[in-house]
Structure 1
Amino acid sequence: MTATPEAWPRPYWQPSEETVVLYFYVFGRFAVDLAIPAARYASRGLPEGVELQRFAHNALRGWEGYPLKGALGELLQEDAPDAFDRARAAPDVLVIRGELPDRDSLDYLRDTLGVLAGLLDVGGSAILDPQILTLFDAEGWRRHYLVAGGAPPRNHVLILRNEDDGDGRSHVYTRGLRKFGRPDLSFRRVPDAQAGQAGLLCERLVELAALGARFVEGQPLEVDGLAGGLVAHPSGSLDDPRFNNTHVAFDWPAQAG
């Protein structure tokens, strides 16, 4: 059965020179002649610029970038032990990867997610999204992403919190907005008592960015209950390991908290 694709618009889209990056590993056992029922999920197939490569799992285990070993492997095993065991045991690995110019709709994401869903129907047992450091088993991925009308942008992005300078303040930031061709978000020196507020603000700004909004240098951001608001400062590089992306920095007011 074929579902009719519905447009995924970006109502706040502003053109940019940013690049959309898609990157997924699908672990499983797949037929030699692989037929992907992507149309079942309203997908037209992988967008131009995104490719699928197939590997025997054993051929990847010694690769320096193999994601199930090292620090990332330890993190994935701790966070999702069942999915990790399924991924490790899978004989095949499919890598979906590509870069696209920024665009005014999210149809590319709809189509890619449809391919991923189809792969779970024909032998996939786990999907790794390295941009958000998350490994899903098949059912977990379906629950997270196969949402009527499309999963909310928050589901595609990781929001993290780390201690910042050890004085009762936190660094609240995101990973994953490269999937939308947007810099990630960084809130430095947030009082621990306001970290929850910063997390909720991240969620709102993630949705705006995913739907196309951009922040420019010096752009003010008013925040309810925060005197003086915040100011945007685009910063960083794509090689920054914390974000795997550029980011927009917002310094929390010194008097807050």
Structure 2
Amino acid sequence: MAIAGCGTTSAAPVALPPVDGVPDYQLGAAYPPPAQVTVVARDRTAQAPAAGRYGICYVNGFQTQPGELGTWPQSALLRKSDGSLVYDPDWPDEVLLDTRTPEQRATIVGTVSDWIKECVGSGYNAVEFDNIDSYNRTGGVLNRDDAVALARDLVAVAHAAGLAAAQKNAAEDSSTLRTAGFDFAVAEECAAYGECSGYTGVYGNHVVDIEYTDNLPRPFATMCADPATPRSVVLRDRDLVAPTAPGYHFQTCP
């Protein structure tokens, strides 16, 4: 498959997702994608990308993944003044990482770097770093500057390994994150929330958008026809289950 474009912000060229690529978002379960799909995102624990497609490796770089709290150095975890861990209010099984000092950021990079190497070894083309905007959920304890500093370090590791780096969500920070080195964006529900221009205004057509069936303020066909919607968009079920599971939904624009 021909892969369009190369990143311009890394030391060495990296392959970007094909413009007009048809995406599938498979974080909940990995399965053979529909024939028309050209871009597939999978969790790093899925190990193998979809054969013959542009592969994006999902990494939670700013919070712990469910079930992986014990694998993190204690110094990397954000704590309250009483020593208790700070959990994401929307994802109560994920603990926020502490980005406040260079030493703590280096500890985080040390852990995530191993995952990036796994993504490379598995054959992915890119890595997406989730929860960059975790700082917004800490009441000012964490800040954007430190999050961007960590993001810049993670992007550098990805580029050195030959992977493109995708900004995940955080539309309001797109310009700053692009300057930090990100090559493209993976956005969730930007059409539903009217945020797509925050990504396309920075990354042009190199934006992959995922909309969800349980949050459609207007018909998906109307979203597809809206020029503000990215050209690579898919409608999925919220749990991102496999086709054999109840609730599975996969739909692309005509």
Structure 1 and Structure 2 fold alike (TM over 0.5): no
Q: Which has the higher contact order (CA 8 A, sep 6+)?
A: 1
Choose 1 or 2 for highest CA Rg.
1
User: Greater strand percent: which structure?
Assistant: 1
